[in-house]
Amino acid sequence: MRATYSFTADWTLPAPVERVATVLVDLERYPEWWPQVRAVASLGPDTARVLCRSTLPYTLDLVLEAVSREPPLLEVRLGGDLEGRVRWQLEPAGPAGTRMRFAQDVEVGGPLALASYAARPLLAWNHARMMAGCRAGLSRRTA
């Protein structure tokens, strides 16, 4: 049994593209600014294990593999509890800002897929809370 999720968001930050990209590709420092990212361990130059926990009492165990680290497109493949991809499309906005387009397309199996049938809105809400933490932390980190 598998369930699919797609999430998108558009944000504008008052920081240049290069600064935003530098923070986003530095996975090992995510726990310093993104509260829902609990731990990151490097598994190699392009791969990291990431533990995430938002509001619900469930920790996602993910493996991220870099596909693209250069603006305008930052992309990782996801494995572990979620399988799919995450993309950040970065473009200049105004004299010193960045418009960010976030897209995540994933599949889940096992207990998360089963939970999806009964609690899909709750899981989407949990993701929204995680991304709110990302936005706030990224804003502070790039200021």
Other CB atoms closer than 10 Å to residue 43's CB: what's the count? 12
* pLDDT exceeds 90 at position 141: yes
Mean residue pLDDT of the chain comes to: 95
DSSP string, 16-58: -HHHHHHHHH-GGGHHHH-TTEEEEEEEETTEEEEEE--SSS-
* CA-wise closest residue to 85 among 65, 115, 60: 65
**Mind listing the pLDDT tens digit for each residue in 86-121?**
999 999 998 999 999 999 999 998 877 888 888 889
The model's pTM is 0.92
